[in-house]
Amino acid sequence: MLLKDQAAIVTGGASGLGAATARKLAAQGAKVAVLDLNAKLAETVAAEIKGVAVTCDVSDAASAEAAIAQATKTHGPARVLVNCAGIGVAKRVVGRDGPMALADFEKVIKVNLIGTFNMLRLAATEMSKLEPQASGERGVIINTASVAAYDGQIGQSAYSASKGGIVGMTLPIARELAQFGVRVLTIAPGLFLTPLLANLPQEAQDSLAAAIPFPRRLGHADEFAALALHMVENSYLNGEVVRLDGSLRMAPK
């Protein structure tokens, strides 16, 4: 996929992995729409990369439709969608106060899994109508899962289920959308130095890094963005889930 002058959408683009990806795509000449619930932060990133900020709740059909319409009005139909929006809530199934509230489980599934599918279905529909590039491609969709889809820990039942769903739908959707020349891929990141982990004491960060054989450190958001860019540019990658985790092992020695 040739990115120069093409429209791209990044959900969760106001911070962390999403912001790094928005910057990376913009640096390659893409016109980037930064979608996020945090309007102020989205505007900051969009101003930096000369993109557009759009407030969006990915889990809401009407909000997602309006956001894509706004992005399309500004930049034209997107050929690239990178889904980074998501939440992580750590709760035990059986806690001190009884069972996990069903609403807590539902919220994580709705934002992470249904939100990803919501944006994918809408973007793919618009991509399928575009003229193909010289390579035959019409679009690329990249989702964000997590190593928790494979190695979920105690308290991650909802989060792991949501990310496992993203992993599970990648290949069948890639096969379905191949008829339109739209590729679908997923990145499963491990422990990254996003704002959440960056606020932890250095001792806590070092403890987490001890679970990563090499390089023994937390991942950098730019490394996620670099992989997303490679996926966009490498037309032979399709239907794949790539773990980006330094071969993380969940039982550090």
Write the burial class of residue 172 (CB in 10 Å: 0-12 exposed, 13-18 middle, 19+ buried). Answer: exposed
**How many residues in the chain?**
253
Q: Do strands 139-144 and 98-99 pair parallel, antiparallel, or not at all (unpaired)?
A: unpaired
> Is residue 159 flagged as an active site residue?
yes
Please say whether the beta carbons of 17 and 43 come within 8 A.
Answer: no
15-52 residues labelled b (16+ CB within 10 A) or e (exposed):
bbbbbbbbbbbbeeebbbbbbbbeeebbbebbeebebb
Catalytic residue among 117, 159, 192, 224: 159
Helix axes of 115-127 and 61-75: crossing angle, nearest 10 degrees: 40
- Which amino acid does the sequence have at 252? P
Would you state the structure tokens that stand for residue 217, as one six-digit string?
């450190």
Please list the active-site residues: 159
